[in-house]
Amino acid sequence: MSDERKHGSGSVAPGDTSDRVGMQVIRERGGDPEEIREALIDAIGAEFSTYYYYTNLRTHLAGHEDYKEIAEDARLEDRAHFELVMPRVYELGGHIPRDIGDFMDRAGCPHAELPEEPNAENILETLLEAERCAIRTWSEVCDMTEGCDPRTYDMASRILQEEIDHEAWFIELLSMERDGETNPAGHFVRGEPGEAPYSTNNRINDSA
C-alpha cells in the first residue's frame, strides 16, 4: 500500500526553510501574501501609534472619569490588535521595522495627536476619527484576504468588530459633550479594561 497522502507533499520541498506553505496556499487561492504582509505592517503601525497617542489623550481627560474609562478600553484594545497581528507578519515572511521611527512612518492612519486646545470635545473628536481610520483599514484587509487567507481574515474581522464598537462609543460621548444629544451606542463596560473580547491573544491557563 502506498504511503502517499493527498496533502503529504506539495510545491515546497521537504525540509526547505526558504519558503512557506502558508504563503503558497494564499497564492494558489489568488492572494498575494507579500501585499497582505505589507498592508499588515502599515495597519499594526497605526495600532501601535494609536496606543501611544491614546495614552496622552486619556491623560488629558482629567475630570471626565467616565470618558477616561472608555478611552482606556479602546487604548488597551488597540495594543491587543498590534500584539495579535504582529506574529502574522513573521508568518508571512516579513518583520516589523527595526527602527520605531520607520515603523511610525509606515502607520496607515494619521497620528492621534493631542489637540492644541485639549478640551473634552476636541479629544473625543480625535478619538472618533482615529477609530474611523481603523475601520477603513481593517475593512480593506478583510477585502484583501477573504477567500484566500482565512487566518489573516479571521484576525482582521475580529479587530474590525472592536473598532466598530469604539466608533460607536465615541459617537455617543461626542454627541452628548458637544451637542447635548443622546446618540446611544448600547455600550456595556468590558469585564476588565482592555478585555478585547474578539481580538485578545489566548492567555496561558496556569491554574491546573
Phi, psi of 19 (to 5 degrees): -135, 165
Q: Would you say residue 193 lies in a domain? A: no
30: left (phi over 0), alpha (psi -120 to 50) or beta: left
Mean pLDDT of 48-67: 96
What pLDDT does 13 receive?
72
CA 35 – CA 39 distance, rounded (Å): 6
Tens-digit pLDDT profile for residues 139-184: 999 999 999 999 999 999 999 999 999 999 999 999 999 999 998 8
Which of 44-53, 55-64, 106-115, 196-205 shows the lowest per-residue confidence on average (mean pLDDT)? Answer: 196-205
Return the C-alpha torsion angle 163, 168, 173, 176, nearest 10.
160
What is the rounded average pLDDT of the residues 82-101? 97
The boundaries of the domain holding residue 98 are 29-179
d(CA 93, CA 87): 10
The answer to whether position 101 is within a domain reads yes
pTM: 0.89
Smallest CA-to-CA distance from 143 within 164, 71, 135, 181 is with 135
Residues of the chain with pLDDT > 70: what percent? 90
Establish if 42 belongs to a structural domain: yes
Banded model confidence at residue 188, pLDDT cuts 50, 70, 90: low
Asked whether residue 202 is domain-assigned, the answer is: no
- Per the domain annotation, does 205 fall within a domain? no
DSSP character at residue 18: S
The enclosing domain of 74 has a CATH number of 1.20.1260.10
Q: Check the CA dihedral 155-158-160-163 and report its sign.
A: negative
What digits encode the pLDDT tens for the residues 109-149?
Answer: 999 999 999 999 999 999 999 999 999 999 999 999 999 99
CA gap 38, 59 in Å, rounded: 32
Alpha-carbon span 69 to 49, nearest angstrom: 19
Q: Which residues of 90-123 are buried (b: 16+ CB within 10 A; e: fewer)?
A: eebeeebeeeeeebeebbbbeebeeeeeeebebb
181, three cell numbers: 444629544
Is pLDDT at 6 greater than 90 in this prediction?
no
Total of domains in the chain: 1
Average pLDDT of every residue of the chain: 90
Q: Does the residue 185 lie in any domain?
A: no
Domain membership flag for residue 1 = no
